[in-house]
Amino acid sequence: MKNKGMIITINSGKGGVGKTIFATTLAGVFSYLKKKVLLIDMDLSSGGISVLLDIPKGKTIYNLFDDIINNRYKDEDAYVYKYDDYVSVLASCKDPREASKIDSNVLEQIINIYKNHYDYIVIDTTHIPNRDTLLSLDMADVILYLIGDNPQELKNTSNLLSILKDLNKDNVKVILNNSYKEENNYFSKYDIKSVIEHNIDYILPKSLYVKNINQYLMEGKILILNNKLSFKSDKDKELLIKLAKDVGDIDE
């Protein structure tokens, strides 16, 4: 069993591959496994978790930063939205102009504060390799890198994986997401591995594709915890649970 406070950073080579939905889904599976998890939206200028989960307006990561530097910080729970008994969310900035004001050293301090209070910290990042994304990758115990079969995306993935390799990062798990679109894939698994020069560690199958997904997203619920949806098969259910247990180092 892992030590408390594992940091899992979700990243991708481009937008639109289901990264934020996967981040919330992973948190939902941890909730299903009765593990306490914090979702941090590290896309500070245009984060999507608050919109995806219809989180009421409240304090954000910027408010926490501002209170820390002005010696007003007292209670970490005051800044997070409690989605259910196991999942909480630290929202990104309300105003994109606030993002550039947050010092990276304080961001690191914020992550470490919450690390002591949760089993898992799941960080959703922008695909742009900016300061906040690089910090999130650097602090991660596990990096989950989502890819599709878009040529531009594979090229971006290849470049970033090369950089991470040069930095001796051996904690990267590549996830091929075949569930975010209905049409057939263009590249084979072999082709993708050849381009990115990395193993594909997990595959999210097409059977996880949700038709009319927007009507469910409008309800503001984590898809995997939405009672109107269910696992399409025991095989899919077992796959997601196995992925979460593997990534989260859960052996019971």
Most confident range (mean pLDDT) of 43-47, 88-92, 147-151, 208-212 is 88-92
Res 182: pLDDT: 67
Are the beta carbons of 29 and 240 closer than 8 angstroms? yes
Q: What is the mean pLDDT of residues 9-31?
A: 91
Res 224: pLDDT: 78
Q: What is the mean pLDDT of residues 156-169?
A: 85
Other C-beta atoms closer than 10 Å to the C-beta of 78 total: 12
CATH superfamily of 6-247: P-loop containing nucleotide triphosphate hydrolases (3.40.50.300)
179 vs 71, more confident: 71
Are the beta carbons of 97 and 62 closer than 8 angstroms? no
φ, ψ for residue 6 (rounded to 5)? -70, 135
140 vs 57, more confident: 140
Res 89: pLDDT: 97
Least confident of 47-51, 60-64, 65-69: 47-51
DSSP SS3 for 142: strand
**pLDDT tens, residue by residue, 97-138:** 999 999 999 999 999 999 999 999 999 999 888 999 999 999
Determine the distance from the C-alpha atom of residue 104 to the mean position of all C-alpha atoms in its chain, rounded to a whole number.
19
1 vs 208, more confident: 208
160 vs 182, more confident: 160
Of 11, 247, 35, the C-alpha closest to 128 is 11
What percentage of residues in the chain have a pLDDT greater than 70? 94
Give the 3-state secondary structure percentages of the chain, helix then strand then coil, rounded to 5: 40, 15, 40
Round to whole Å and give the CA distance between 50 and 58: 10
Q: What is the mean pLDDT of residues 47-73?
A: 93
**pLDDT tens, residue by residue, 181-219:** 766 667 888 888 888 888 899 999 888 888 777 777 778
Residue 41 clears pLDDT 90, i.e. is over it: yes
Res 94: pLDDT: 92
Residue 61 clears pLDDT 60, i.e. is over it: yes
Which band of pLDDT confidence, cut at 50, 70 and 90, is reported for residue 229?
A: low
CA-angle at 17, arms to 114 and 211, nearest 5°: 105
Residue 1 clears pLDDT 60, i.e. is over it: no
Round to whole Å and give the CA distance between 87 and 118: 9
Residue 248 clears pLDDT 90, i.e. is over it: yes
- Mean pLDDT of all residues in the chain? 88
Query: Helices marked H in the chain — which ranges?
Result: 19-32, 49-52, 61-69, 104-115, 131-139, 151-166, 189-196, 213-217, 234-247
Res 2: pLDDT: 54
Phi-psi region of 34 (alpha: psi -120 to 50; beta: other; left: phi over 0): left
